[in-house]
Structure 1
Amino acid sequence: MKRRTFLAGMVAVPVAGCGLSGTSNSGSSAGGQVTGEITFQTWSLKPKYTDYVNGVIDAFQQQHQGTTVKWVDQPADGYLAKVMADASAGTLPDVINVPPDLSFPLAKAGQLVDLDEVARDAKPEYLENAWQAFEIPGQGGCYGFPWYLNTGPLFYNKALFRQAGLDPDKPPANFDELEQYALKLAEKNIAILGQTPSIADFGLYGVKLFENGEFTFNEPKGVELVESYKRMYDAGALIPEALTQNYTGAGTKFMAQQTAMNPGSAYDLGKFKTDAPSLYANIGITTPITNTGSANMFLHGVSVPKSSKNQATALAFGRFVTNAANQVAFAKLASIFPSTTKGGDDPYFTTEDGSDEARVRVAAAKQLKTAVNYTPVQFSDQMREALLQQLADAMLGKKSPKEALDAAVEECNRLLK
């Protein structure tokens, strides 16, 4: 799941007039009155969440008389290019929806307000790991109010496990066990996965990804991981499509029961039940594969550019849209989780009702408290493509795992400079 597209699977729920109000302190220590007009830009939230966002805006305007929030929603395609073009032209909106890796180049260029300086009292309201995700490593400062988070379980097909003679109630818990299970499944011509490892998988494995200003995932642990995947690929435990750079069909292969395991979201169960009932009857649910003890986390946030002519109002709105009440309401409409410290205490995320969906949702919410955004903020889409290409070469035997990772790291560091 690409970190910037995890909203694509958000559940569409019709929203009655929300009229949301928040009680969070939405003032700003930046100085200035909360008044006047600002522009708020989101990333592909229309039309599913039009009523929700309008409800938040209405509540903010009612709480702060004399304010006007103009909402602009940009499509997912081309969002990165749009934001960077606006940054170059000095025309960024007052509040922008960004993930950490998109906030990084803007913050590095000095274009975003440092929340550690102007809204430090807001920090305790958010999960520490979420706040840290918008910091620039080694430089300090936080450049985005954390907004919505996501993580999820690992799904597996119990029927395929039984077919390979594996215990369907004891799925792999770490990467060594993953390879053991993969090789057993491959003996029955069953692929375990539909993807090669992402940069986040290297983090989950325990690889040091970035140190002293450069990428380092070609260290021995990184090579170990690629060697493991190479053995799995050679045995037939990865589908051939996994080597294609733009391949996004791993989830479809899992639903068609052509692979035995796939990461997902708490909200995928409903799709399985509707679109793949035979899979749903044999679905296994387990925690993510990790050597570190911490799951991976995806997140988005909202940042305030220094170019905003109304920073006080922009900061107040950024804090308001991401407060606990508004985040919990949003999370109940979509396949996301709140990033606030109090949001996760809502019974919706702590209480099971006997359904699989609630069990997975509660487990995922608990998992988020210690989850890590393993993808370095410096890691761009170009770098992702370079890594995928080198991994494909390693799987095909064109390069050794060490040679492939050395080439990937060299290219990523070149792109970084």
Structure 2
Amino acid sequence: MRINRRAFAAAAVIAVVLPLSACGGASDTGSSDASGKVEGRITFQTWNLQANFKDYFNGLIADFEKQHPGTDVKWVDRPAEGYADKISADAAGGTLPDVVNVSPDLVAPLAKAGLALDLDKAASQYRKEYLEGAWQSHRIPGMEGTFAFPWYLNTGPLFYNKRLLTEAGLDAAQPPKTYDQVFAAGLQLAQKSKGKIATLANVPTIEDFGRYDVPLMNKEGTGFAFNDAKGVELLTKYKELYDAKALDPQALTATPESAGHKFLTESVAMNPGSALDLGNFKKQAPGLYKNIGITDQVSSTGHANMYVMGVMVNSRSQQKPAAVAFAHFVTDATRQMEFAKKVAIFPSTAGSLDDPYFTKEDGSDETRVRVAAAKSLKTAVNYTPVLFSEQMKTELRNAVARALQGKESPEEALDNAVKACDRLLQQS
């Protein structure tokens, strides 16, 4: 059950394969000492934010420079397309900015190359200011340290069609909360509708394996482990749904947009989404809208999935005190709350999600979803391994398709996916 990420402020990116030989080994990290006077010129790079938030960031930079006389922050914004390649090229060429907007998958190769400052050593005094799950999201398996300040978060609740659940004899006031409950409800929906109503419109992703409590990697971070008995069990359950027509027939090629359309036309009973989707339902499908239920993401661990952005400090910055101070300034509670009120994202700072903005509804669609999502984020986890690249996601998706179509057993499909992902991991 994949979360629709259209509300996320930055676009998804391709995986980075950083040329480590051009950047030095992992031990070549530069000093982790960020003490000293906050002064000098630093460069701050963001990712596809200038077009919509120019005034916000210009104001933020002006406030920082006022608080720290003698500093000068140069802001550079890069387009989403090619952002990963640009970071890789800068890293290889020694031109990586002092402070960089990253996602966990982008920070991983930089940390391995010794270019991401370890904040557990350089800025541990700030750790308590952030949600623990968010702080941990920029840790790299097999390495000691945390390599970026957590910035903004996102997640999404699960929408469900109360009418379809009721017609199948299910209690719409008590929607499924765990995967086992989803599987049972799905089979009942398919049976009652004679295969006309599917429960879901998409196949499991790595996040689903995580929320099903499948170990995704070994403890050393050197290989993947989602082919264990628990992983095989999850894929076997999805195969049962697929065979019973409880998964939409086009699930194997579904996108978030196509899955949303299936839900809009009431041929699918459940779908993850955002406030943008809820407003769209109200406009395009008023019959569906009046029967919309909103609940937490399905999880067998008790924790929802979070998407997280971060702000990394270049370990080789010549102005480390200023770079660390600015990265913290961008991501502190005050600035994150200001940013969250300009775009549909959530702060990663401790206590911020208790603000009335995230706890009190006003009857609007936007606040209904915002309150539900904020509640789940307090204990959410970034399940996608930071080392799990886009190529690896494709390998898993293809393996899932082979299993659902009966071309391979769930066990064989996952074994092959793990082997392929391990090969890619060794090549990175």
User: TM-score under structure 2 normalisation?
Assistant: 0.88
1:255 is matched with 264
Q: Which residue of 1 aligns with 2:35?
A: 31
CA offsets per residue over residues 349-378 of structure 1, 9 Å max, x none?
233335554344233222212111111111
Q: Distance in 2 between matches of 1:373 and 1:344?
A: 17
Tell me if 1:115 matches 2:119. yes
Is the 1:331–1:337 Cα contact (8 Å) retained in structure 2?
A: yes
Aligned alpha-carbon RMSD (Å): 2.2
| 1:207-226 deviation line (CA, Å, top 9, x unaligned) | 01111321100000100110
The 1-side partners of 2:92 and 2:281 are apart by: 44
Alignment match, 2:5:
6
- Residue 17 (structure 1) aligns with: none
Aligned to 1:161: 165
Given residue 291 of structure 1, which amino acid in structure 2 is its aligned partner?
A: S
Structure 1 residues 69-108: Cα deviation after superposition (integer angstroms, max 9, x where no partner): 2222222222222222221222211111111121111101
Instruction: Tell me if the contact between 1:265 and 1:335 (Cα under 8 Å) persists in the aligned partners.
Output: no
Give 1:385 deviation, angstroms: 0.7
Which residue of the partner structure matches residue 23 of structure 2? none
Matched letter for residue 305 of structure 1: N
Match of 2:92 in 1: 88
Q: Distance in 2 between matches of 1:401 and 1:105?
A: 31
Q: CA deviation at 1:320?
A: 0.3
Task: Give the letter for the 2:401 counterpart.
Answer: A
Q: How does 1:165-244 map to 2 (within 5 A)?
A: 165-187=169-191, 188=193, 189-211=196-218, 212=220, 213-244=222-253
The 8 Å contact of residues 279 and 365 in structure 2, kept in 1 or not, is answered as: no
SS at match of 1:262: strand
Q: Aligned partners of 2:54 and 2:353: how far apart in 1?
A: 24
| Aligned residue number for residue 145 of structure 2 | 141
Structure 1 pair 354–339 and aligned structure 2 pair: CA distance change class (3 A): same
Structure 2 CA distance, aligned partners of 1:235 and 1:337? 38
Tell me: CA distance 1:53–1:256, structure 2 relative to 1, closer, same or farther (3 Å): farther
SS in 2 for 1:210: coil
One-letter identity of the residue aligned with 1:164 = A
5 Å matches for 1:7-406? 8=7, 30-187=34-191, 188=193, 189-211=196-218, 212=220, 213-244=222-253, 248-266=257-275, 268-355=277-364, 357-406=366-415
Instruction: Structure 1 unaligned segments of length 5 or more: list them.
Output: 12-27
Describe the shift of the 1:7–1:317 C-alpha distance in structure 2 as closer, same or farther (beyond 3 A).
farther
Q: Which amino acid aligns with 1:210?
A: M
**Sequence identity (%):** 56
Q: Which deviations, in whole Å up to 9, do the C-alpha atoms of 1:370-405 show, x marking residues without a partner? A: 111111111111110110011111111111100110
Aligned equivalent of 1:20: none
- What's the TM-score, normalizing by structure 1? 0.90
Deviation of 1:64 (Å): 1.8
Distance (whole Å) between structure 1 residues aligned to residue 381 and residue 202 of structure 2: 21
Amino acid at match of 2:180: D
Runs of 4+ in 1 over 6 A off after TM superposition: none
Contact 1:267/1:335 (8 A) holds in 2:
no
CA distance in 1: counterparts of 2:6 and 2:316, whole angstroms: 28
Q: CA deviation at 1:266?
A: 4.8
